[in-house]
Structure 1
Amino acid sequence: MAYRPNYTPSVQELRALVSCGDLGSVSRAADALNLTQSAVSRSIRALEDRLGVQLFHRVRKRLHLSDAGRAMVHDARAILAALDRSAKMAMTFGKGGDVLRLAVLPTFAATWLIPRLPAFFALHADLSIDLASALHPVDFDESPFDAAIQRAVMARKDTEVMHLLDEKLIMVASPSLIAIGQTLSHPELASYPLIQLATRPKLWNDWLQNEETPPIVRLQGPRVQHFDMVISAAQAGLGIALLPAIFAEQAITAGTLHQVHPRMLNGPTPYALIRPQSRVDSAAMDAFAVWIKTAAQA
């Protein structure tokens, strides 16, 4: 078998590289890593010798990254971060029960799922859940997630989609902007800023085109990226918002928002539990699926 040289750096070499690149000094890097200066110097020297490139320029006792060093530090930082995440994830398996890794739309998690999780854990105290925010379709081949909770349209091929909740959009505002009990007519909307969702820019147009009166030609109001920002902006009195009723539920109960128009707009696609077909044989995930389906129907 032909000899293949091993160019792969050790974790200690990567840590030394990143620290020296960030701090510009072997002594400072040694202090940060709780190592001796000679250990850090040996790691850098061994890495340069093995790769055959100079990773640093030494100028007046300062270390300056070379082009090769700069490129490698960028990748090394990502590798170390990934290892750290992997180690922390592995630690969760020491809890003695199954861990469900879920990718969830952040506003769905904050306003609907998390407030209901105590009921799930009351039934399944041996299970743990790791939640991660996911605004884009999940590629289960490239991610560690067991399932995703997203809009059904975001499901990729080779997944199973279980309907949870239809999206019903309602118009809400803060009592500081519109008095409780007051409802708005279509013409009155033109007098108020309309909070717009940048990731779904057609929401207001979809609502307005169903009205029998002439549309508002130009929408005016703040534009934000996510529904949680829409909620905060509306609570601050920055304008009127269109929100899925399930997202507005907590704020309406708390009195920080109220519905200012009686009509609901049906969203184009429901919220769903999305599971990869390659990982459907999981008793823990099945238990979660049964629970969340029941919670959604309550």
Structure 2
Amino acid sequence: MDRLKAMQTFVQIADQGNLTKAADALNTSLPAVVRSLAALEAHLGVRLFHRTTRRISLTEEGRSYLQSAREVLAAADAADRALTVDAAEPAGQLTVTAPVLFGHMYVSPAIVRFLQRYDKMRCSVLLHDRSVNLLEEGIDVGIRISALEDSSLVAQQLGSIRRVVVASPAYLQQHGTPRHPRELLDANCVRIHPSSTVHWTFRDHGRTVAIAARGNLEFNHIAPAVEACAAGIGFGMFFSYQVLPLVKQGRLTIVLDEFELPPRPVSVIYPHARLLPARTRAFIDWMKTEFAGLTL
């Protein structure tokens, strides 16, 4: 039995959810797929799929083996590439998504440099502040500021970003600098939320503390909220990259930094794939270089 070929067949069956579709994807016959699966199950001594006349689904052992099989196939592919001189330039269409402001400030300039290096590439950049489903929306690569929850995706961390509380120097001079998050209960807080109450979360001696942020101004977008805080109306909680330019200009001051939650990861994410297209792999490698050690 060719174990790598059997693994490829198994992964295709799991991805396609159908023996016939797996055979079509592998450009082979249905009996060959059935024989390959049977040989793999006999070798492992477990049943990988529940099979009925109408449907096929992974067993518990099959779900566990699927991730391992993907990793083995990816490692084999990487080993082949390491010994192969591939002079071809990455080419073709790539669709990328990122958060709006981070995409504007950091991702888009990196993509411009990527296209200047690989002029046979074409990129479509979609900037959204909502959670984007890469698989459903046909997106190749995403940049995400959060921990990865979707197990159908791969994440490679590029760096990390803090979540900070800021106010203008003039506001702090008039109202004082808070020494503990609970002092925000009596302050004017600019909120980014459609509801009347938003909780800002902090870390105090190992415990998570949620503070109800109240105020007389609310936005559904980040940029005007940042400017409102810089104008002196009150406190705001933002990702550090969103306020960094104004902090450097002295228009905003970071407060309560000793109570911040751990930084959030910034990752490049993409769907599981046995063989990533060269253009996708080139883009991922480019972003890892561009954002190496990013800490904001």
> TM-score, normalised to structure 2's length?
0.54
Query: Hey, what does 1:198 align to over in structure 2?
Result: 193
Give, in whole Å, the separation in 2 of the partners of 1:163 and 1:234.
31
Which of these residues, 283, 291, 297, is aligned with residue 286 of structure 2? 291
Query: Hey, what does 2:140 align to over in structure 1?
Result: 146
Q: Residues 19-64 of structure 1: CA distance to partner in whole angstroms, max 9, x if unpaired?
A: xxxxxxxxxxxxxxxxxxxxxxxxxxxxxxxxxxxxxxxxxxxxxx
Query: Hey, what does 1:112 align to over in structure 2?
Result: 106
Cα drift, residue 223 of structure 1: 3.0
- Going from structure 1 to structure 2, the CA distance change for 1:286 and 1:244 (only over 3 Å counts) comes to same
The correspondence of residues 1-298 of structure 1 with structure 2, limited to 5 A, is 97-153=91-147, 155-178=149-172, 183-186=177-180, 189-198=184-193, 204-207=199-202, 219-263=214-258, 265-267=260-262, 269-278=264-273, 281-298=276-293
- Going from structure 1 to structure 2, the CA distance change for 1:162 and 1:216 (only over 3 Å counts) comes to closer
Assess if the C-alpha contact under 8 Å between 2:157 and 2:267 holds in 1: yes
Assess if the C-alpha contact under 8 Å between 1:161 and 1:273 holds in 2: yes
Give, in whole Å, the separation in 1 of the partners of 2:191 and 2:275.
38
- Going from structure 1 to structure 2, the CA distance change for 1:122 and 1:219 (only over 3 Å counts) comes to same
Give, in whole Å, the separation in 1 of the partners of 2:221 and 2:229.
13
Segments of 5+ residues of structure 2 without an aligned counterpart are 1-89
Cα drift, residue 101 of structure 1: 1.0
Give, in whole Å, the separation in 1 of the partners of 2:274 and 2:195.
31
Query: Hey, what does 1:41 align to over in structure 2?
Result: none
Query: Hey, what does 1:92 align to over in structure 2?
Result: none
- Going from structure 1 to structure 2, the CA distance change for 1:177 and 1:118 (only over 3 Å counts) comes to farther
AA in 2 matched with 1:162:
Q
Q: Cα RMSD (Å) of the superposition?
A: 3.9
Segments of 5+ residues of structure 1 without an aligned counterpart are 1-95
Cα drift, residue 163 of structure 1: 1.6
Query: Hey, what does 2:26 align to over in structure 1?
Result: none
- Going from structure 1 to structure 2, the CA distance change for 1:129 and 1:263 (only over 3 Å counts) comes to farther
Query: Hey, what does 2:20 align to over in structure 1?
Result: none
Question: Which structure carries more strand by proportion?
Answer: 2
Q: Residues 193-243 of structure 1: CA distance to partner in whole angstroms, max 9, x if unpaired?
A: 11223289998541276699x986663343333444432332343321122
Cα drift, residue 191 of structure 1: 4.7
Larger mean CA deviation between 163-172 and 222-231 belongs to 222-231
> TM-score, normalised to structure 1's length?
0.54
Give, in whole Å, the separation in 1 of the partners of 2:284 and 2:113.
14
Cα drift, residue 254 of structure 1: 3.7
- Going from structure 1 to structure 2, the CA distance change for 1:211 and 1:139 (only over 3 Å counts) comes to closer
- Going from structure 1 to structure 2, the CA distance change for 1:269 and 1:168 (only over 3 Å counts) comes to closer
AA in 1 matched with 2:97:
A
Q: Residues 135-175 of structure 1: CA distance to partner in whole angstroms, max 9, x if unpaired?
A: 33333343231111123446534211122233311221234
- Going from structure 1 to structure 2, the CA distance change for 1:216 and 1:271 (only over 3 Å counts) comes to closer
